[in-house]
Amino acid sequence: MNHPPNPAAAAPSRRGLRLALLFSVLFVLAGFVLFYVATRYAQRNHANEDQVVSVEVGARACTPENLTVPAGKTVFRIKNTSDRAVEWEILDGVMVVEERENIVPGFTQTLTANLAPGDYAITCGLLSNPRGRLHVTPTEASEASRKAAPSLTDFIGPLSEYRVYVGTQSAALAQAARKLAAAIDAGDPAQARAAYLAAHQVYARIGPVAGLFADLDHRLDASAIYFDKREADPAFSGFRRIEYGLYAQGQLQPLVPVAQALAADVDTLSGRIDALSLQPAQLATLAARRLEQVASALDAKPEPYAQDEVALAAATLDGAHEIYRLLQPLLKNQAALEKSVSDGFAGAAGTLAPLHDAAGYASDTRVDPAVRATLAKQLHALSADLKRINPALGL
């Protein structure tokens, strides 16, 4: 016999379902809350590990102009709010500590710097702009890192050999600069162009070290884009001014004082290089930084009169490879990194090879933009790999 359902029994059942559903919703919400808290905690921890500082580079100054950060790794997020491509540098006196070049208008680039305690200057866009200030405060971690630095014994050989290489190239540069000045003074366009190309490539080979001296590097090799009046700016000088005169203006007489000043600056550079005492951590860092600069130059559209960016890329690659060759024996326990860097050099050299013939490297305007982009990408990747060497060696 069937019995009718008992309302009293059904009601608790419905209440139970409601309670179960409520607990399920609360459980899901609790899960979301815990996930959010964990994510925010991880983000805070990551932010603490990598200090992030935002800087805007305007037409005439940086915002902020004065910065204070703790010692160690800081990520600078640099936004170009001007209407010109700009560079941003951290300077210790005249020495470049870190830099980012060719930041195009409206874009943001990041620069990661591992800074020691002290006071630094900041270049803000155009070279004529006032400089900002960066104060780096000591931390317990920076003091511990300083005391735990690896032994220098393994680096004596590489540092000594690189010093010989740079000294030899520096002497060759001084001779090439005098030859360039003589050719311009003699009024021989063909000889002057050949001398210009030769001297500029020697400078590129020692670019990792030459780039340390901001005042000289700006006078010797700064592009017109970093000057207020571009090619017409009175401060525009050095190799780039000579290139403009030789290939755009076709006038040698105005270049006579420019070439003489270049030769004098090269002599000053030679003296500074002779007195320079490099540290182990600088070797891979300087090579990576210079390759990054060359890659950024290749990313940009070449000037109509540009002749030798590709040739300079090849010379810079040679100079960076000399540094890597000296450090390579120290990477015997880092097989994957060694292979990656070696492959990077080989890949870039392979891209450059078809661009060279008996007359030298193809001028910039004759290089296929796709090939130029490929080379830039390879140099960016190689620079990133070279930056991995110091951590691998405990530096």
Helix (H), strand (E) at residue 319: helix 309-327
Taking alpha carbons only, the member of 179, 78, 85 closest to residue 132 is 78
Mean of all residue pLDDT scores within the chain: 88
Domain boundaries, given as residue ranges, for the chain: 51-137, 153-392
Q: How far, in Å, CA of 251 to CA of 244, rounded?
A: 9
pLDDT at 371 exceeding the cut of 70: yes
Confidence at residue 122, expressed as pLDDT on a 0 to 100 scale: 95
Q: What integer pLDDT is reported at residue 302 of this predicted model? A: 87
The confidence score (pLDDT) of residue 141 equals 78
Per-residue pLDDT band for 140 (boundaries 50, 70, 90) equals confident
Both tokens of 390, joined, read 């110091």
Q: Are 276 and 210 in contact (CB under 8 A)?
A: no
Q: For residue 258, give every residue at least 6 positions away whose Cβ sits within 8 Å of its Cβ, in sequence order, or none.
A: 237, 238, 241, 242, 245
Fold adopted by 51-137: Immunoglobulin-like (2.60.40)
382: its two tokens: 């190689």
How many whole angstroms separate alpha carbon 318 and alpha carbon 111? Answer: 25
- CA pair distance 10, 208, nearest whole angstrom: 84
Q: Which of 26-40, 62-76, 141-155 has the highest mean pLDDT?
A: 62-76
**Mean pLDDT for the stretch of residues 115-140:** 91
Q: What is the mean pLDDT of residues 175-197?
A: 97
pLDDT computed for residue 8 by the predictor:
44
Mean pLDDT of 210-221: 96
Q: Average pLDDT, stretch 259-276?
A: 97
In sequence order, which ranges of 187-237 are alpha helices (DSSP H)? Answer: 189-205, 207-210, 214-221
Q: What is the pLDDT of residue 95?
A: 87
- Where b means 16+ CB within 10 Å and e means fewer, 169-192 reads bbebbbebbbbbbebbeeeeeeeb
- What is the reported pLDDT for 128? 87
Residue 103 near residue 56, CB atoms below 8 Å: no
- Nearest CA-CA partner of 273 in 198, 185, 170: 170
Identify any residues that bridge with 80 across adjacent strands, giving them in sequence order: 57
> What kind and span of H or E run contains 351?
helix 335-352
Average pLDDT over residues 173-195: 97
Look at residue 109 and tell me whether its pLDDT is greater than 80. yes
What integer is the mean pLDDT of 114-126?
91
Confidence of residue 55 (pLDDT cuts 50, 70, 90): very high
Q: Which helix (H) or strand (E) holds 67?
A: strand 66-70
- Of the candidates 252, 269, 259, which has an alpha carbon nearest to the alpha carbon of residue 177? 259
φ, ψ at 9 (rounded to 5°): -80, -35
Average the pLDDT over 10-37 and give the result: 48
pLDDT of residue 184: 98
Residues 108 and 78 sit within 8 Å (Cβ to Cβ): yes
Q: Which CATH architecture has domain 153-392?
A: Up-down Bundle (1.20)
Question: What pLDDT score does 78 carry?
Answer: 95
Stretch (H or E) spanning 122: strand 118-124
Which residues is 72 bridged to in the sheet? 115
Query: What are the DSSP calls for 148-174, one per residue?
Result: TPPPSGGGHHHHHHHHHHHHHHHHHHH
Q: Say yes or no to pLDDT of 178 above 50.
A: yes
With a CB cutoff of 8 Å and minimum separation 6, the contacts of 105 are 80, 81, 82, 83, 84, 85
Q: What is the pLDDT of residue 395?
A: 86
What percentage of the chain has pLDDT greater than the value 90?
72
DSSP reduced 3-state for 74: strand
- pLDDT tens digits, residue range 333-344? 899 999 999 999
Region 146-167: what's the mean pLDDT? 83
Residue 94 in 3-state DSSP?
Answer: coil
| 351, pLDDT greater than 50 | yes
Please check whether the two domains, 51-137 and 153-392, share a CATH topology.
Answer: no
In this prediction, residue 11 has a pLDDT band, given cuts at 50, 70 and 90, of very low
**Residue-level pLDDT at 370:** 96
Query: Which whole number is the average pLDDT over 42-55?
Result: 62
Give the per-residue pLDDT at 271. 96
pLDDT for 301 = 86
How much is the average pLDDT of 278-293? Answer: 95
pTM of the model: 0.79
